[in-house]
Amino acid sequence: MSRIRITKSVPLVLLVLFLAISLVVFYSCNKDEDDNNNNGTSFAFTSLVAEHDTIMLDGSTLITATATGSGLTYTWSVAKGNIVGSGSQITYAATPCCVGNNELSCTVEDGDNNTLTHYVTVTVIY
């Protein structure tokens, strides 16, 4: 009758094997940073720029948002004055109530509902 002899190295081998399998399972379950639902295009809002940062009363200036990603939408807001247009480029038109500094905000949202907001200040003078 033959006997199987268990040595001290068998539990160590089993432990190493268990750890190796655990690492493979752990890393295969992690989502890669590049694995997103936007077709390989990363979402970034790189700049918000006013063509003129100082304008005359009743004047206007073009404002451009630069962003990358898929399914982008732009939401603009300002407390005083008018926003004309939509999308990545709008015109800010100063009205008589706008003398002074006016902060405009632009929020960009991508197709995965990620949002980023930038601000630009336009000064209105007489």
> Which tens digits make up the pLDDT trace of 51-93?
999 999 999 999 999 999 999 999 999 999 999 999 999 999 9
Range of the domain at 89: 44-125
**Which is more confidently placed, 62 or 37?**
62
Domain CATH code at residue 66:
2.60.40.1080
Total number of domains constituting the chain: 1
Report, as an integer, the average pLDDT of 107-121: 97
Where does residue 29 fall: left (phi above 0), alpha (psi -120 to 50 degrees), or beta otherwise?
alpha
Report, as an integer, the average pLDDT of 3-32: 62
**Residue 8 falls within a domain, yes or no?**
no
Calculate ∠ Cα 87-92-94, nearest 5°. 160
SS3 11: helix
> For the chain, what is the mean pLDDT?
84
pTM over 0.85: no
State the Cα–Cα distance between residues 88 and 120, nearest whole angstrom. Answer: 14
